[in-house]
Structure 1
Amino acid sequence: MNLSRRSFLKWSATLGAMGTGLMSLTACSQNASLTGGEGASAGEQIIPTASTQDCGGRCLIKAHVKDGVITRISTRSAYEEDEPGANMKACLRGRSYRKHLYHPDRLKYPMKRVGKRGEGKFEQISWEEAIDTIATETRRIFDQYGPESRYCNVGTGDTGGVIYRMGLGGRFLSATGGYLPLYNSVSMGNTGTATPYVYGVAATASSLDSLKDTKLVILWGHNTTETIFGASNYYFRQMKNRGCKFICVDPRNSNTAVAFADEWIPLLPTTDNALMDAMAHVIVSENLHDQAFLDQYVQGFDEEHMPEGVPAHESLVSYLFGKKDGVEKTPEWAEVICKVPAETIRRIAREYATTKPAALIQGWGPQRHSCGERTALGATMLASITGNVGVLGGWAGGYIGLSRKGCIGLPDVPNPYPGAIPTLSWVDAIECPEKVTPAEGLLGVDKLNSPIKMLLNLAGDFIANQNPDINRTIRVLEDESLVEFIVVSDLFMTPSARYADILLPGNTFFERYNIGATWNNGDYFILSQKIVDNYYESRSEYDWLAEVADKLGAKDVFTDGKTEEEWVRWIVDETRAKYPETLSWEELEKVGISKFHYDGPRVAFQDQIEDPVNNPFPTPSGKIELFSKTLYDMHNPEIPAIPVYVPAWEGPEDELTEKYPLQLIGWKTKARDNSTFYNNPWLQQAMVQEVWINPMDAKPRNIVTGDRVKVFNDRGTTMLQARVTSRVIPGVIAAPTGSWFTPDGKGGCTNGNLNVLTTLRKTALSHGNTQHTSLVEISKL
């Protein structure tokens, strides 16, 4: 590649300085407020900022800058006071951001594909050529196929920012005529869709500080220690010190279970509802349920509280005691299915029902299954029958999200196209759009009149790494008669970047302005400041999309006359107008974080419980609907009206187990954020890509720890190292998600990526993600 003398000298000196300590780089952005601080060395300045990666931590990052180079990253110390609702200490990933920023493999220049799509062969081009090509193809495809032929895929590389790159892609396509958008989260779409059928809304969590006096917490597939979900660990440590008991229900003895659990209860994946149903049976049969709560606030618990027009024996109680199917959902019944001993089920059911208050908190992993919606609803059922909804220290179950104070977002550019598809339907929308129907989740239109022909992939590794069934996906992408134009903007040559026609070097959050927005950690936001200049010719997607929009006559619509920094300033000003306590821009440059007024813990549905007359639940009945008439009227056996156990496809009762007897699950790790940071050298040392297998499954296969093994099914094969451990239940193998797909040319991956094994088949209700439902076999190489 051609390299200008200026760029060569600039970045050679910088990268050389990483090892020698000789610091030389262009000056920091003139707009950055460079302030010294406690702990700063001579000539060093400390600038507060925030990552905008797809992470629930949303922590305050301190960039130590000397001579225009970030020399190290620090975070809040253990001696800095944490105020209620705002804990912002960086985790292992946060402390390694410098290795991400200065990684020698970062993309440096715009490039165009010169080989077959997917070969990874590119040549350097100018930004002018890249922008001209994108503008020409954008116009051609729109004119030839219409707006629904253009699609912007999931990009989880920076969804923690108010201005996020996938959103910018959609904004650009809306400004230039419209596009086919997606809906439903890959992470928690099944829960987000199912929960409103019970409570009327998706956001059902209380704030973490509401758990201060909770006596018992059941973490159901919730691995906070590795995922850093909000400030969970911070609060859980405090609760543990006050004597709160923790029980972890999980097929794997996760790091969270090791750190917090008084008891680990392993169960087979997809059988969660059997365990939940048996717990409910114990609670009701032993009269431990809160009948007064149920009488006043709940529809569908028993036959006396059912909606009109429903036949007999459809209530929860009738189901639990076998009034319709003749099968009582006893602990003995559940033990056969989920492998949790009957006496253990009885004990934890009694403990959950009699401990006041108690919180059953379900993670997002259990709902990324073929039975995901039912599992999500099971948690709401247990919370309701024990009266743990709407009370301080309880937990309503369902989606882990809550409405909080927050900063203002960008005003929308309306999309002229009315349709939308589920997140995981994009491959079908390319290859066989006639299959994407309203029955399969198509919204707003009756059919797709065109397949997807143009694909934007901005800050995302979803198209050829995180997407299920990679082998099918890449076959579709490699066929240039299908998708005609793919634009990728990213930091590295990721597996997805290899499928670009135009490949552009994106920049990091250190090189642009944004707002780091909290999830459910607390009431605050952080100014994400531009601290260093762009790496080589990397650019913000906002800037080059504005130039493409300009060539298409839509720049004013896309930008509204503002630069990216000016939009961030606008967000701060508008937020300050709504919440006067918001810090000014100048103050944010110095301290980074703006905290909203803290008004105490937030308890989901507290208003509905304390004043039900004036605050009914936003459901058809105005109550918690353990029985949903809306679901009942769908007449779909995979979507029952109450959260009951239904054997999952590719679950332990599927006939396919005769060929593939093991269930495969993946877990999020402390070393990666989806597939982001996979190539970070510090984090690679912290996480080995290995598959866990129980000794009972390893012995007959002659597998010992350290063996190279292959995991396979009809969709593909992946190879990685084995770890024989009792920390995973027999019948299940588990491995970290997010390793980079490295094909062997025969449908296999040599690097342990799990998505050669996962399925594009979707859930019945939300048409959502089922990536943890995969039957496989494993053998020694």
Structure 2
Amino acid sequence: MNDVTMNRRSFVKTAGALGALAAAGGAISAEGSLFGESSIAHADTEEQTVWQHCGVNCGGACALQCHVKDGSIEYVESDNTGSSDMNSVQVRACLRGRSIRRWLQSPDRLNYPMKRVAGTKRGEGKYERISWDEALDTIASEMKRIRSTYGDTAMYIHYASGVSSGIIAGTPVNRLFNLTGGYLKTYGSYSSAQISAAGTYTYGGGTYGSSFLTLQDNELVVMFGNSPADTRMGGGGHTWDFARMREAKNLRVICIDPRMSDTVCGQGGEWIPIVPGTDGALCAALAYQWITNDQVDTEFLHKYCVGYDEETLPEDAKGKNASYKDYILGNGADKTAKTPAWASAITKIPEQRIIELADEMAKADPVYICQGYGVERHSNGENAARCIMVLPQLLGQIGKPGTNDGRREGCNSIQAIATFPAGKNPVPDTISLYTWPDAIDHGEQMTATNAGVQGVEKLSNSIKFLFNYGGNALTNQHSDINATHELLQDESKCEFIVTSEVFMTDSAKYSDIILPDLAVQEQLDISKGGYADNDEVLFFCDPVYEPVGERRGIYEVCTDLAERLGVKDQFTEGKTREEWLRSLYEQAREKDSTLPTWEEGFKMGVYKRDTKPKLSLEKFVADPEANPLPTESGKIQIYSEKLAKFAQTWELNDGDKITALPEFDPAFDSYLDVSEEYPLLLMGFHYKAHVHSSYSNNSVLQTAALHQLWINPEDAQTRGISTGDMVSVKTERGEVRIMAKVTNRVIPGTVVMPQGMWHDADMDGDRIDKGGCINTLTRYRPTALAKANPQHSNVAQVEKVSE
């Protein structure tokens, strides 16, 4: 253990004397910067080591040892505890976490409360410094006014993932709103709403299946649109789990993706290029081969599944050729046999390779079939996700070691740890979080059947007050930025917007008041590990230094708002942040006595323990009568009666479909929609240089991994484009200027762009985005079932920009 590790008490003792100096040194003249020009006076102190973690939403969470001197991070190490042997997990950070000091100590940090300058519009980014009292008085006043005028359902807490870890995290905002009347609730997420819906109507709920730890020697792994090496990169994420299993088990890996990802590139395995959004067609052709070659596990399908054939259909669906088998063989409504030749014309995968792949998968025992979030973020995402889930069902490759149920790889965490209590929201009205623009523009017209509203048949209000904590999804991470810009500028729609942030993001520019937040690493907290399955982790996190300027944590901000709203006693229950943390942690230790004490945890910084492989549906397969699934039948739903009913009763847009079976549906902005004007498919992907939009302003990362549009040599040649050229990418929604990367790692006819770079356009001028934000180009149109994010489905044109 490192002898110079600084626990909370020693940090306070060493740095507490600097508090008054820091506050004084943080002040600037009215003419100074509103962001990061403040200086801090410090005594000369010895270097201390502060344990923290990288807490952004990459799906991992990795340890950081911050070496701090005179109130500044000098350098960052990661996890070096335990041995270096292959079986000892070290939750080591990738470059994103290791370069965090440049991000935390950026001169562009927000330091003071600000309000939008009178007479300017949202989005212009013109603000003036105000006091905390003025900021909080104004927010509290607007909360009271809007509640009394429009009702509780006019209040909204926006989706955000920039603060995605810790016991405290962002729930103080939810608690405050619940204590003062509640707010319009949401379901789903920008990341996984479609696969979650698919899992709900197939297995009764859930996004995750079996862990990588269940993989067996020499088995076949087939991954659809999944690249943990690009997303969950560090030692606290799945890429380490998978890399270790590949080395130890000698796995055969096949990645099916429009882009050759880092999970297959340089690591072995096979890349099968596929046209974006056509995974469902490939799945149907694989099923055709298995059915016609008598390779399906009929016994498994009859015992555990509903809807495979006539025998297993619900009674009201029988006699209509409505089974999955009928659909595949061409006896269903579309009268089309889903042969490999049929699928090859759609997917551009050679017919012979489809036939060979089907045979490989059928003969593999076990075979692990999984999908990432790339497939489900298309306009047909729910059906595509269901199409992949049916594959292991057909082969009976569920519930035994080395298998998965077709969902995303599983993960583990310490279950006893509870988050800060938000309390009960008395408002029943619930929308898909992706549909918030509709709830601002015409909330009263949104119903259960036309917009997927839950809890009530119809919304009673539009959103009038919006609180955005640690999120960049007002614009940057939401579809069709240009349209959203118009909506948010109209103050007759949403009347008041508050953002609490660490930087002036593009979304923050649409706020009426901006509050300077403390980053995760600047606050006391305890956090669970990320989406990994090889360990269970807790991070005991001290603040790396005293607050700079007037930055404040969200718990303390909400405490002051609660006082102004008359609910402080109920909000705090007499506890400080630390007292809440201690109380919640002791509750966890009562449930799990193996956890270290508070003092032990903060001394070690990171607590790790081994975990067991997670095998999806193991108990159900062992005894389906004793362990039924939470579906309408208690079994796996290949055919869903609920979806059949939705298809008949919901009001859908032209071209939208909800199907009882997992059918291939191209949906909108697919390969069928390319034209002379927009001849290319465009999709986004997660990239090493940022996590969504977090860290996009870290120059170290942007230098290490350039933000470029990937284009196949065939498409580049016809356009006279070379690597390094500046290109224009256009859709019906807008235009982006970005550097080109000519590479064979993307299928011809498709271009791919990393998602998450910050939008940068003259919104009063040509609106051409020079920041490279893909959501300048994406369509805002919720998907049919989950009412969710289809941002990978776009048709576009790319041209070289003339000098």
* TM-score bracket, shorter-length normalisation: over 0.9
Q: Runs of at least 4 residues of structure 1 off by over 6 A? A: 82-85
Q: Distance in 2 between matches of 1:27 and 1:677?
A: 30
Partner of 2:188: 184
* Aligned twin of 2:50: 47
User: Are the equivalent residues in 2 in contact too, given 1:52–1:515 (CA < 8 A)?
Assistant: no
1:206 lines up with 2:210 in the alignment: yes
2:271 aligned partner: 264
- SS of the equivalent of 2:101 reads helix
Counterparts of 2:428 and 2:85, CA distance in 1: 46
Q: Secondary structure at the match of 2:299?
A: helix
Q: Distance in 2 between matches of 1:405 and 1:287?
A: 43
RMSD of aligned Cα (Å): 2.3
Match of 1:711 in 2: 729
Corresponding residue of 2:146: 141
CA distance in 2 between counterparts of 1:512 and 1:212 reads 42
- Separation (CA, whole Å) in 2 of partners of 1:336 and 1:472: 35
Residue 610 of structure 1, aligned match among 622, 625, 630:
622
Show the counterpart of 1:652.
671
Q: Which residue matches 2:400?
A: 391
Q: Kindly tell me: are residues 174 and 445 of structure 1, through their superposed partners in 2, closer, same or farther at Cα, counting changes over 3 Å?
A: same
What's the CA shift string for 1:460-493, capped at 9, x where partnerless? Answer: 1110211111111111111122222111111111
Q: How far does residue 222 in structure 1 lie from its aligned partner after superposition?
A: 0.8
Which of 725, 747, 771 pairs up with 2:767? 747
CA distance in 2, matches of 1:699, 1:152: 47
Deviations 1:180-220 (CA, angstroms, capped at 9, x unpaired): 12221110011111112111221441223222546111121
CA offsets 1:134-163 (integer angstroms, 9 cap, x no match): 111111111111111111111111112332
| TM-score normalised over the length of structure 1 | 0.92
Partner of 2:163 in structure 1? 158
Identity of aligned residues (%): 38
| Number of the residue aligned with 2:691 | 673
Contact 2:50 2:543 in 1 (8 A): no
Structure 1 window deviating more from structure 2 (446-455 vs 325-334): it is 446-455
Take 2:548 and 2:372, find their aligned partners in 1: how far apart are those partners? 37
**Aligned 1:453-492 pairs, distance under 5 A:** 453-492=464-503
Q: Is 1:415 aligned to 2:454, yes or no?
A: no
Alignment pair present for 1:555 and 2:557: no
Answer yes or no: is the 8 Å Cα contact 2:779–2:791 preserved in 1: yes
Contact residue 380 and residue 398 of structure 1 kept, 8 A: yes
CA–CA separation in structure 2 for the residues paired with 1:79 and 1:175 = 45
Q: How many residues align?
A: 752
CA contact (8 A) 2:414 2:528 kept: no
Range moving further from structure 2, 713-722 or 331-340: 713-722
Query: How far apart are 1:260 and its partner, in Å?
Result: 3.0
Instruction: Confirm or deny: 8 A CA contact 2:501 2:516 kept in the other structure.
Output: yes
Q: CA deviation at 1:531?
A: 2.7
Verify the 8 A CA contact 1:718 1:748 in the aligned structure 2: yes
Partner of 2:265: helix, strand, or coil? Answer: helix
**Contact in 1 for aligned 2:435/2:788 (Cα 8 Å):** no
CA distance in 2, matches of 1:489, 1:571: 25
In the alignment, which of 435, 439, 449 is matched to residue 429 of structure 1?
439
Tell me if the contact between 2:472 and 2:505 (Cα under 8 Å) persists in the aligned partners.
yes
- Is the CA contact (8 Å cut-off) linking 2:541 and 2:602 kept in structure 1? no
What is residue 313 of structure 1 aligned with on the other side? 321
The 3 A distance-change label for structure 1 pair 589 and 5 is closer
Deviations 1:575-595 (CA, angstroms, capped at 9, x unpaired): 100000011110111112334
1:415 is paired with a residue of what secondary structure? coil
1:374: which partner in 2?
Answer: 383
Counterpart of 1:524? 537
**Separation of aligned partners in 2, 1:215 and 1:556:** 58
Q: Given that residues 23 and 548 in structure 2 are in contact (C-alpha distance below 8 angstroms), is that contact kept between their aligned partners in structure 1?
A: no
Asked whether the 8 Å contact 1:512–1:540 carries over to 2, the reply is yes
Whether 1:600 and 2:629 are equivalent positions in the alignment is no
* Aligned AA (1:771): Q
Match of 1:58? 61
1:247: which partner in 2? 254
CA distance in 2 between partners of 1:81 and 1:615 (Å): 41
CA deviations over 1:622-655 (Å, ceiling 9, x no partner): 221212222223336722122111122110013x
| Pairing of 1:18-29 with structure 2 (within 5 A) | 25=42
Q: Decide whether aligned partners of structure 1 residues 699 and 553 sit closer, same or farther in structure 2, where only a CA change above 3 A counts.
A: same
2:413/2:529 contact within 8 Å kept: no
Point out the more displaced range, 191-200 or 637-646.
637-646
For 1:741 and 1:511, the matched residues in 2 are separated by: 27
Matches of 1:50 and 1:754, distance apart in 2: 29
Contact 1:26 1:533 in 2 (8 A): no
Q: Answer whether contact 1:424 1:760 (CA < 8 A) is retained.
A: no
Unaligned segments of structure 2, at least 5 residues: 1-19, 29-38, 649-655
Distance 2:251 2:466 in 1: 49
Q: State the alpha-carbon separation in 2 of the partners of residues 57 and 751 from structure 1.
A: 26
1:93 matches 2:96: yes
CA shift digits 1:6-51 (9 cap, x unpaired): 6574699xxxxxxxxx9974799xxxxxxxxxxxxxx433232223
1:667 offset after TM fit, Å?
Answer: 0.8
* Residue 391 of structure 1: how far off its partner (Å): 1.2
| Residue of structure 2 equivalent to 1:233 | 239
Q: Give, in whole Å, the separation in 1 of the partners of 2:563 and 2:89.
A: 41
Match 2:137 to one of 129, 132, 138 = 132
Matched, 1:109 2:120: no
Report deviation, 1:616. 2.1
Distance change in 2, residues 1:249/1:85 (3 Å):
farther
SS at match of 2:315: coil
Q: Secondary structure at the match of 1:112?
A: strand
Q: CA deviation at 1:446?
A: 2.9
Change (3 A) 1:83 1:133: farther
Give distance in 2, aligned partners of 1:615 and 1:85: 35
| More deviation, 75-84/186-195 | 75-84
Please point out which of 293, 299, 323 is paired with 1:292. 299
In structure 2, relative to structure 1, the CA distance for the partners of 1:224 and 1:402 (3 Å cut) is closer
Alignment partner for residue 570 of structure 1, among 583, 595, 599? 583
User: SS of 1:378's equivalent?
Assistant: helix
Report what 2:643 is aligned to: 631
C-alpha displacement of 1:91: 1.2
Name 2:651's counterpart in structure 1: none
Aligned pair partner of 1:173 in 152, 177, 196: 177
CA contact (8 A) 1:11 1:25 kept: no
Work out whether residues 208 and 409 of structure 2, in 8 Å CA contact, stay in contact via their aligned partners in 1.
Answer: yes
Say if 1:216 and 1:359, in contact at 8 Å, map to a contact too.
yes
Q: 1:507 to 1:78 in 2, by over 3 A?
A: closer
Cross-structure match for 1:275: 282
Moved more, 442-451 or 545-554: 442-451
State the 1:729 CA deviation: 0.6
Q: How does 1:727-766 map to 2 (within 5 A)?
A: 727-744=745-762, 745-766=765-786
Is it true that 1:76 corresponds to 2:49 in the alignment?
Answer: no
C-alpha change, 1:117 and 1:622, in structure 2 (3 Å) is closer
SS of aligned partner of 2:671: coil
Letter in 2 for 1:248: C
1:322 corresponds in structure 2 to: 330
- The one-letter code sitting in structure 2 at the alignment partner of 1:301 is Y
Deviation at 1:331, TM superposition (A): 0.8
CA 1:5–1:196 in 2, change beyond 3 Å: closer, same or farther?
Answer: closer
Shift of 1:519: 4.0
| 748-757 or 626-635: bigger deviation | 626-635
Name the CA distance, whole Å, in 2 between partners of 1:98 and 1:519: 21
Structure 1 residues 412 and 111: CA distance shift in structure 2, 3 A: closer
CA distance in 2, matches of 1:196, 1:184: 12
